[in-house]
Structure 1
Amino acid sequence: MLLKIGDLARLTGLTIRTLHHYDSIGLLSPSARTQAGYRLYQHGDMDRLHRIMALRRFGLSLADIATALAGPELPLASIVARQVAMLDQQIAQAATLRDRLRTLQAQLAQGQQPALAEWLTTMELMSMYDKYFTPEELKQLPLLSDAAVEQEWQALVARVRALQATGAAPGDARAQALGTEWMVKLVRDTGAHPGLFARLNAMHAQEPSMQATTSIDAHVMEFILAAFNASRMALYQPFLDEHEYAHLVANYGKRSGEWPALIAAVRAAMDARTAHADAAVLALARQWLELFRSYAGTNPATQLKFRQAHQQEPRLMEGSFVDAAMLRYLGAAMAIVAQEKPAK
Structure 2
Amino acid sequence: MLKVGELAAHAGLTVRTLHHYDSIGLLSPSARSDAGYRLYNRDDVARLQQIQALRAFGMALSDIGAYLDSPAASPLAIVERQLSSLDQQIAQARHMREQLLRLRSRLAAGKETDLSIWLTTLEQMTMYEKHFSKEELARLPLYQNPEAQAEWQELVRHAQSLMNRGVAPDTREARAFAERWLGCVERDSGGNPAFILRLTAMAGQDPEAQKEMRLTPALLAYMRTAIAELRFVIYARYLPAETIERMRRHEASHSDEWIELAMAIRACMGADPEARSSEALALTRRWFALFHDMVGDDPEVVAQFRRAGSTEPMLHLGTGIGDDVIGFLRRAMQNIQAQAAKA
Q: Which amino acid aligns with 1:337?
A: I
Shift in Å, 1:172: 0.9
Distance 1:125 1:315 in 2: 30
* Contact 1:178 1:224 survives alignment (8 Å): no
Name the residue aligned to 2:317.
Answer: 318
Distance 2:238 2:337 in 1: 24
Distance 1:148 1:277 in 2: 44
Shift in Å, 1:271: 4.8
Shift in Å, 1:255: 0.6
Shift in Å, 1:230: 0.8
Q: Which amino acid aligns with 1:151?
A: A
Shift in Å, 1:204: 3.3
Name the residue aligned to 1:290.
Answer: 289
Greater shift in the superposed pair: 170-179 or 136-145: 136-145
Name the residue aligned to 2:220.
Answer: 221
Shift in Å, 1:169: 0.9
* Contact 2:196 2:319 survives alignment (8 Å): no
Is residue 2:300 matched to residue 1:301? Answer: yes
TM-score w.r.t. structure 1 length? 0.58
Greater shift in the superposed pair: 311-320 or 145-154: 311-320
Distance 1:210 1:241 in 2: 39
Is residue 2:233 matched to residue 1:234? Answer: yes
Distance 1:258 1:134 in 2: 25
Q: Which amino acid aligns with 1:163?
A: L
Name the residue aligned to 1:69.
Answer: none
Equivalence map 1:1-344=2 (5 Å):
116-271=115-270, 274-337=273-336
Q: Which amino acid aligns with 1:187?
A: E
* Contact 2:261 2:283 survives alignment (8 Å): yes
* Contact 1:194 1:260 survives alignment (8 Å): no
Structure 2 unmatched ranges of 5 or more: 1-88, 94-113
Q: Which amino acid aligns with 2:235?
A: Y
Q: What is the number of residues matched between the two proteins?
A: 231
Distance 2:323 2:263 in 1: 15
* Contact 2:197 2:319 survives alignment (8 Å): no
Greater shift in the superposed pair: 138-147 or 172-181: 138-147
Tell me the C-alpha RMSD between the 2 structures: 3.1
Structure of higher RCO (CA pairs closer than 8 Å, 6+ residues apart): 1
Greater shift in the superposed pair: 134-143 or 255-264: 134-143
Q: Which amino acid aligns with 1:280?
A: E
Q: Which amino acid aligns with 2:233?
A: A
Larger of the two Rg values belongs to structure: 2
Q: Which amino acid aligns with 2:134?
A: P
Q: Which amino acid aligns with 2:141?
A: P
* Contact 1:186 1:319 survives alignment (8 Å): yes
Judged with a 3 Å threshold, the aligned counterparts in structure 2 of structure 1 residues 206 and 292 are, in CA distance, closer, same or farther, namely: closer
Shift in Å, 1:273: 6.2
Name the residue aligned to 1:43.
Answer: none
Shift in Å, 1:319: 2.2
> Does the residue aligned with 2:175 lie in a helix, a strand or coil?
helix
